[in-house]
Chain A
Amino acid sequence: MTTVAPVKNFDDVKPQTPWSASMRDRQMTLGLVIAAVVTSFVIVGITPMKGKLAYFVIFFAALLALDYTYSRLKFGKAAGVDSFFKTLFTVAICITVLPIVSILWSVWQRGHKGLHWTLFTQNMKQADFTGPVGQGGLIHAIIGTLIIIAIAVVISVPIGILTAIYLTEIRGRFSRPIAFLVQAMSGVPSIVAGLFILAAIVYPLTRHFNGFEGSIALAILMIPTVARTSEEVLRLIPEDLREAGLALGGTQWRSVALIVIPAARSGLFTAIILGVARIIGETAPIVLLTGGANVMNINPFSGTMESLPLYIWTGLLAGTPESFTRAWAGILILLALVIILFTGARYLGSKKAAN
């Protein structure tokens, strides 16, 4: 009679995964990578191809070739092809992530030199874009952006959420065309939105640039994002909740307002945040419509207004090292705002998923 030793500690028992890579496989992969690195150094050393990118390209090419040859010799043709494509797809994800890393790195590297406290306390009234970096600030641009975005949110959020409610709750006869048009609207180029406001409001009515016109153009760009994200969120609300509301004798209006919307609240906030992230850096309509200013203007209905993208744009066009540094500092602040918004949307989204 055989006895099985009782298991003392279940943490020590690991499930068997015969398909996962063994120690030997890992060593082989590491060996291939090292071989590819060596190859790339040798080739860059003895041929005229030079530069960081040459290293990258030759490294990936060598890795592909070595990987294919090894698998082909060891396991046969099918395995060779399989391993070739696996490496190819891995290379693709590296290439995809590479620009992101490069963007984040260059924004930090070039932008942090332009950061100083007066950025958040002063405007550009007494300073010039081409002047020394320590002078002036962009508080007027930050406030301007906040005002413009706030008005755009006030305009676009009701429209966007109403559209989403129409698509998910009313489901009327226009549902399909509206869903289609909202998608089409998300492809409207930002400059076209700017031209439209120019043609519809500035030339025939106001004849002056102001912040409010920029807000309307941004609202046009924000509506599809809000509508589509809210629609997805509202679709996740279980049908039972709506039916329960109706079964209790509530009208559709009350079951939507008191049951569906509160249940979807955090998702709707995510939609708004994503919409804001979409428009906060929009430059073309702002350049066309708000006019730009050196000083703080908190009245969106009268007088030109500065905003962060416009500040960066001006810095870029001024064309001196000082103005470039200002532009990079501006983009660093803008990027920080985008990342904060994005993280907030993710956080709300994950909380939603957890519930």
Chain B
Amino acid sequence: MGKGRAFFEGSRRLACGAELHPSFTFRSPIARILAVNKGEDPQVSSSTLQSNIALPEKREITTTPRLSDRIFRGVVTGGGLSSLVILGLILIFLAYEGYNTLKAQGIHFFTGSKWAATTGANGHVDFKASHFGIAAMLIGTLICATIAVLIGVPIAVSASIFLTFYAPQAVKKLAVTVIDLMAAFPSILFGLWGYFVLDPIGVYWAKLIHKYFNWIPIFQMPAGPYFDRSPLIAGLILAVMIIPIVTSISREIFAQTPLDRIQAAYALGGTKWAMIKNVAFPYARSGVVGGTMLALGRAMGETVAVYTVLNIVYQINWHILLGAGGNVASMILLQFGDASQEEVKALMAAGLVLFAMTLIVNSIANLIVNRSVKGRS
């Protein structure tokens, strides 16, 4: 191994170009051990080797986590369970505060439409004599959310198809950025814009619809022509708000369409539309349905944006062009301003119903979306 040793000892220049100090003998560990074994290394004798290098103690190999890991896992699991704790606390506290109202009003809480607190002889709100009913609000919430979904989802799905299958790269990048930005817009911005910009446009369209389609019952105008701040306009603003959400979910799902199936459709001579209809749609259907329900949940819980463009009226109204609607979240905000602390407890019962509703819709939506996104990727 003479040549090898010469190599090890001779090359003082490292790969990085640095020069080693002349006194340093550059040797690889293996060369050194070989040299020690042969007893020919002048620098290290075998006795110093044994005394200098202490062998590590034998350790037992175990799968038991150490104390630090146990603490770590405990803390992280605690943090992870916080979502459960928070949701549970919301449910418990709202149920606790709203219990009086729900118990006193019973089924009338869901079937009645009147909202009037009666103060009893002792100066407290008499929950039995008061009328707290959210039927009009519940139906109004559903109407607004349905209008939003009917208008918003077709536009959003079409836009996501355009972005996935048609758009040039530059357009796609820009549009995705702009749409994601819109998803981050605060709801008060939509409220302000809806009140000042969308409302006049909505009134104009409502008048047109009323003029030409008033033979359809929901487009009729039962009480004096009053088009301002109607459920239709609230639905429009909600549609504008859910479009970015549905677009980004649908885009994610359409983008996962298997390339081989797309190419197979083209190879069979299909046009782009034939490919979308027969390959992309069946593939993405359930995911888009889930995204729609997610948007429905968002539309039902929206507060400020609806508040500015909807007249809250405590009466069930099916005529979507009439400026009188209901919305649970907006009603809570409206009543909160001049409600006594006890009346707020009735609002908490309404909040509990809203929470339960959005939670159920969201959970179903998430189940559908998760199944269609994760099951296929």
Task: Give chain A's interface residues, CB within 8 Å of chain B.
Answer: 51, 53, 78-79, 81-82, 84-86, 88-93, 95-97, 99-100, 102-103, 106-107, 110, 158-159, 161-163, 165-167, 169-170, 172, 174, 177-178, 180-193, 195-196, 198-200, 203, 220, 223-224, 227, 251-254, 256, 274, 277-278, 280-284, 287-288, 309, 312-313, 316, 324, 327-328, 331, 334-335, 338-339, 341-342, 346
In the complex, 19 of the A-B residue pairs with CB atoms within 8 angstroms, ordered by the A residue number, are A78-B271, A89-B158, A90-B162, A93-B159, A102-B193, A170-B73, A170-B77, A178-B84, A181-B84, A187-B361, A188-B90, A189-B355, A190-B303, A223-B86, A251-B69, A281-B188, A338-B185, A339-B181, A346-B177
CA distance A184 to B363 in the complex (A): 6
Chain B residues with Cβ below 8 Å from A97 are 175, 178-179
Task: Give chain B's interface residues, CB within 8 Å of chain A.
Answer: 65-66, 68-69, 71-73, 75-84, 86-87, 89-90, 93-94, 96-97, 154-156, 158-159, 161-163, 166-167, 175, 177-182, 184-193, 195-197, 201, 204-205, 240, 243-244, 247, 271-274, 276, 294, 297-298, 300-304, 308, 329, 332-333, 336, 341, 344, 347-348, 351, 354-355, 358-359, 361-363, 366-367, 370
Are B79 and A312 in contact, with the CB atoms below 8 A? no
- Closest chain A residue to B305, Cβ basis: A283
Q: Is the interface of A mostly helix, strand, loop or mixed?
A: helix
CA distance A343 to B76 in the complex (A): 31
- Closest chain A residue to B304, Cβ basis: A283
- Closest chain B residue to A195, Cβ basis: B351
Chain A residues with Cβ below 8 Å from B190 are 103
Are B186 and A309 in contact, with the CB atoms below 8 A? yes
Are A288 and B76 in contact, with the CB atoms below 8 A? no
- Closest chain B residue to A288, Cβ basis: B336
CA distance A184 to B193 in the complex (A): 29
Q: Given the interface contacts A191-B333, A252-B72, A328-B192, does A199 sit within 8 Å of B96 by beta carbon? A: yes
Besides the known contacts A92-B158, A281-B189, 4 further A-B residue pairs in the complex with CB atoms under 8 A apart: A100-B179, A188-B90, A331-B188, A335-B189
Chain B residues with Cβ below 8 Å from A183 are 362, 366, 370
Are B83 and A223 in contact, with the CB atoms below 8 A? yes
Q: Given the interface contacts A102-B197, A196-B93, A342-B184, does A92 sit within 8 Å of B82 by beta carbon? A: no
CA distance A102 to B258 in the complex (A): 37
Q: Given the interface contacts A162-B79, A196-B90, A198-B344, does A95 sit within 8 Å of B186 by beta carbon? A: no
- Closest chain B residue to A167, Cβ basis: B80
Q: Is the interface of B mostly helix, strand, loop or mixed?
A: helix
CA distance A89 to B94 in the complex (A): 44
CA distance A192 to B358 in the complex (A): 10
Q: Given the interface contacts A189-B354, A280-B186, does A95 sit within 8 Å of B155 by beta carbon? A: yes
CA distance A81 to B189 in the complex (A): 39
Q: Given the interface contacts A188-B301, A284-B304, A288-B336, does A81 sit within 8 Å of B166 by beta carbon? A: no
Chain A residues with Cβ below 8 Å from B65 are 251-252
User: Which of A93, A224, A256 meets B83, CB within 8 Å?
Assistant: A224
- Closest chain B residue to A92, Cβ basis: B158
Chain A residues with Cβ below 8 Å from B192 are 312, 316, 327-328, 331
CA distance A281 to B161 in the complex (A): 30
Tell me how far the C-beta of A285 lies from the nearest C-beta in chain B, rounded to whole angstroms.
9
- Closest chain B residue to A284, Cβ basis: B303
Chain A residues with Cβ below 8 Å from B354 are 189, 191-192
CA distance A191 to B71 in the complex (A): 36
User: Which of B66, B271, B294 meets A187, CB within 8 Å?
Assistant: B294
Chain A residues with Cβ below 8 Å from B76 are 162, 165-166, 169-170
Tell me how far the C-beta of A87 lies from the nearest C-beta in chain B, rounded to whole angstroms.
10
